[in-house]
Amino acid sequence: MSDDFRKKTEGLHIGIIPDGNRRYAQKKKLPVANGHIIGSEKIKDFTKWCLDYPEVKQITIFALSTENLRRTEEEIEQLWKVYKEKFNEILIDPVIRDHNVKVRILGNDGVWKPNIRELARNVVNSTKNYSKHIVNIMLAYGSKFEIADAVRKMANKPLGTLEKFLLVKEPLDLVIRTGGQYRLSNFMLYQASYAEIYFSKTLWPEFSRKEFDKIMDWYYEQVRKWGR
């Protein structure tokens, strides 16, 4: 890849819909919770892979959707435990510090457990002065919720624009969804308006660096026309 091309793609914003944890657990005859634990480790790997590409400025991770909250109480409780563990890890993760990564945890925080809300605040505060990269963790998030909330905030400010009130204001350049499903599932619908979208058949826990690099090569081959 030429230096000129890298300059053209600086500030790349990648969104990831990491689908397939439960099916992976079923395939391996493991408890569902194990699928989520293994999947959360893959998120750490994925973040490191992205940081290896200097042109990647921002990563947005679909960690928990508003629709996921309809799952069994037992599964949701297990997910909160995973988030608690991973947020604690972020606080001491040298990768975050060494790569100057600002972490933002966004979504409907009214449904987060109190300990998760406090941990999220600690993570955000501990990385707020970093600026080289941004990682958005979307927790209890749905695009319909985000847009409706932005419209409410904008209602009394006629000179404002919708983007100003969105949780994530920057448009996505590339969206990757794993797990063999061909839909966005209420993920960043506004921000993904002109994004390139890659659907992988691989279950999230089995997603590899090799496949990610292949997707990045595919992205660089696309001719983005922005609706023109």
Q: Which residues are annotated as catalytic?
A: 19, 68
Question: What Cα–Cα distance (Å) separates residue 202 from each residue in 6, 64, 123, 182, 218?
Answer: 28, 19, 30, 12, 16
Of residues 200, 203, 207, 170, the one with CA closest to residue 188: 170
Q: CB count, 10 Å around CB of 203?
A: 24
